[in-house]
Amino acid sequence: MRPQMAALPPLSSVVKSNDVEDPVNRYVHRTLAYLFVRLIFKTRITPNMITLSTVVIGFVAGCAFIWGTPTAMFVGGVCLWAAAILDGADGILARAKNLQSEFGRALDGSADTLVALFTVFPAFYHIWVTYHNPYHLILMVPALGLTVMHLAVYDFYKESYLRGTRPGQSGEGHDADEIGETAEAARDEGPIIQIAMKYVLVPHLVRQKAVVSWLSPDAWRLSQLLHSDDRTAEIYRRNNVWPMRLWALVSLAPHSYLMAICAMLNRLDVYLFIRVFLMNGIFLVALIWQRHATSRTIEELVGAGAIEVSGTGQPLTL
């Protein structure tokens, strides 16, 4: 059993790198989540309890969207935003009590998926019954499909960035090449964890590898350089910090709070346009920028003798 910390550590030590968070999540969500953790740190509340509470709150938000009155929409928006804040609190509590694990990540990912299901489809329903606009129905397809792709790509670059810039540390979870080990490890963790691993985390990793390998094969190959030192970390951060901050704008947190704000204003149709046009515009800019950043990173790492390029063009650690 891992030892737990007697006192709550400072915020800076229990959150991810600021470089992988969007500004609202970094300065608002994490601060509020940390204050919540401070209140419950000495209690018996566990990270998994907080994770499951986000599902309940997300379900309430979805019910409010279906109800659809202006008051219900405001309540639904508040609930969705509260779920987004609590989504960070479980990780903070886990790090503070040294309880983080791959299984917790699987459960957290499952909770995120359920909250999305409980809120996105009711939101689409609300838009349709409010406006009866066929154009909205057309936009719902790319809004849903491309958001899934955005989240997978962001998660990949977040993991790569954390591994590449923190010598002696790793990211927050396994990558797609460890799928077999990941699934096998879940066998003794009970049915809930097994379901979360089998139907959420593993499919996410498979989808992530397929998408990133297609969009940027060099980035995928570079991600295999996981054991960084101070020299390679400086090179990686210098070339990738600003693309990473752009990727953060298409992560789950902006999706949640922008949708929550539009719901509170009873204008979920506005969020639909934001999701399809603005977020995909950011995604394309980030993708182009990242491809150039990856090329520069490989060139500098090769020049520094940190990696070599084999005959197949794959970067290898020395």
CB 165 within 8 A of CB 243: no
Mean pLDDT for each consecutive 10-residue tract of the chain (318 residues)?
68 85 93 95 92 96 98 98 94 86 72 92 98 96 94 93 82 54 57 68 80 90 74 93 96 95 98 97 97 94 78 48
Other CB atoms within 10 Å distance of the CB of residue 280:
17
CB 228 within 8 A of CB 159: no
Domain boundaries, the chain: 11-317
Kindly state the greatest CA–CA separation across the chain: 63
Local structure of 317: helix, strand or coil:
strand
For position 315, what pLDDT does the model report? Answer: 47
Measured CA to CA, the distance from residue 251 to residue 238 in angstroms comes to: 21
Token look-up 């070599």 returns 308
Was domain 11-317 assigned CATH 1.20.120.1760?
yes
Residues whose CB is less than 8 angstroms from the CB of residue 300 and which lie 6 or more positions away in sequence, other chains included: 235, 239
CB 33 within 8 A of CB 92: yes
Token look-up 């991810």 returns 16
CA angle 35, 252, 188 (to 5 degrees): 80
Q: Which residues of 176-208 are buried (b: 16+ CB within 10 A; e: fewer)?
A: beebeebbebbeebeeebbebbeebbbebbebb
| Ordered alpha helix ranges (H), the chain | 23-24, 30-40, 47-67, 70-96, 102-131, 134-165, 179-185, 191-196, 202-215, 217-222, 230-247, 252-264, 268-273, 279-303
Residues whose CB is less than 8 angstroms from the CB of residue 173 and which lie 6 or more positions away in sequence, other chains included: 102, 105, 159, 201
For position 208, what pLDDT does the model report? Answer: 85
Residues whose CB is less than 8 angstroms from the CB of residue 110 and which lie 6 or more positions away in sequence, other chains included: 195, 196, 199, 200, 201
For position 174, what pLDDT does the model report? Answer: 53
Per the rule left: phi > 0, alpha: psi between -120 and 50, beta: everything else, 190 is left
| Ordered alpha helix ranges (H), 265-308 | 268-273, 279-303
CA 128 to chain centre: 28
